[in-house]
Structures are given as structure tokens and as C-alpha cells.
Amino acid sequence: MVYTRQRKWYTKELLEICIDDMEVTGEKFTGVQKKGLNFTEFKIPCYVEGVKVGYGIRYFFRCYKCGRRVTKIYTIPNPTKDNITGCRHCLELNYISQQATKTQMDYEAHLLYRYGRMLDPNFKLDTITHTPCPWKPKNMHYKTYEKIKSKYEMAQLKAQKKFIAMVGTLLKRTGN
């Protein structure tokens, strides 16, 4: 990739607008209709497309930059009239797993939080390396719990290894 001197956005820095979390008002429709996302001071024009599927109609955003059908569009947190809005392809966003490095534990923290929320909706990740896995929830099959728990423990073990490697590198630099 060519260096363009322009800073790329990270997904965490942008406001994610998901069509599945919204209610499409008005009559159910198929085809493309122009709608608008209302913010406090202005409205962002966007296209919503309805596609007939076996169980009803599924809605998608139509990216106005590239024309792709997507379920999520992204915009800057405090949008203005001349803002950056588009799909992850237009804004060149990548997934959190693609941003993972050998020393940063962001991806492992993301996995631990995700697996913890599968077991307990109120799960809080205090420390990446020492937060215990939540107990088996009521009405969850034991095999399912064991699968999620093993994934949680593997991600935690990987985070611990990264932490140890990071501390080892720091100790070598300081000469201790």
C-alpha cells in the first residue's frame, strides 16, 4: 500500500450506524428509497434498499460513494454537513483482528469481552490477564458452556503471553 500521508480512521473512532438496530419507518418496501439520518442540526442523505427474502423484507443501506449494499455505515462522532460518511470499504476500515500486533492486547481484550458477554450480559472486563470466566448461565447446555469457556481461556492465555513478552522486552531495555 502506498503511503499517502493521510491518517486512516479506526473503527473505534467512528460512529457505527447499523440498519438492524434501526426501525425503517413508513410502509414496507422493496427497491431503493432515499431516506435521511436525522442528527441534531442537519440530515445526512442515505439510500435504504429493501430486499424480499423468504421471511419478509430485509433492509440495507446503499453506500452513496461506491453503491454497495451494506448493513453498516460509518460517520465521524460529531458529524457536520461536509462529513465523512460511507461503508467500511470506502473509508478503508479494517477489522480489529487485522489491527492486532504482537504486543498490543486490544484484540484479546475484544475476544474476552465478547465471550464474557455470551455467558453474562452484565460482564465487565477488569483486567485482561486475570478476570475469571463467568459461571455457566442457567438453561445453557454444558457442552456450549465448555466451548465458550475454552475459547475465553485461550484468549486469556494469549493475552498473558503477550504481557509477559512485553514486560520481558521492557526489562531488557532498562538493563534489569
Q: What is the pLDDT of residue 140?
A: 94
Tell which wins on pLDDT, 19 or 23: 19
The domain segmentation of the chain, as residue ranges, is 11-86, 96-165
Task: Calculate the average pLDDT of the chain.
Answer: 79
pLDDT reading at 78 higher than 60: yes
Q: pTM, whole model, 2 decimals?
A: 0.57
Half-sphere exposure of 74 (CA within 13 A, CB side): 15
Helices (H), 49-141: 106-119
Q: How confident is the model over 129-154, as pLDDT tens digits? A: 889 999 999 999 999 999 999 999 99
Q: What is the pLDDT of residue 12?
A: 64
Cα 108 from Cα 162, distance rounded (Å): 10
Q: What is the pLDDT of residue 56?
A: 79
Tell which wins on pLDDT, 62 or 39: 62
**Which one, of 115, 116, 99, 117, lies nearest residue 107 by Cα?**
99
Which of the given ranges, 53-57, 72-76, 108-112, has the highest pLDDT on average? 108-112
Q: What is the pLDDT of residue 112?
A: 92
DSSP code of 61?
A: E
Q: Position of cell 453498516?
A: 72
Helix H or strand E segment including 174:
helix 142-174
CB atoms within 10 A of CB 65: 13
Q: What is the pLDDT of residue 38?
A: 62
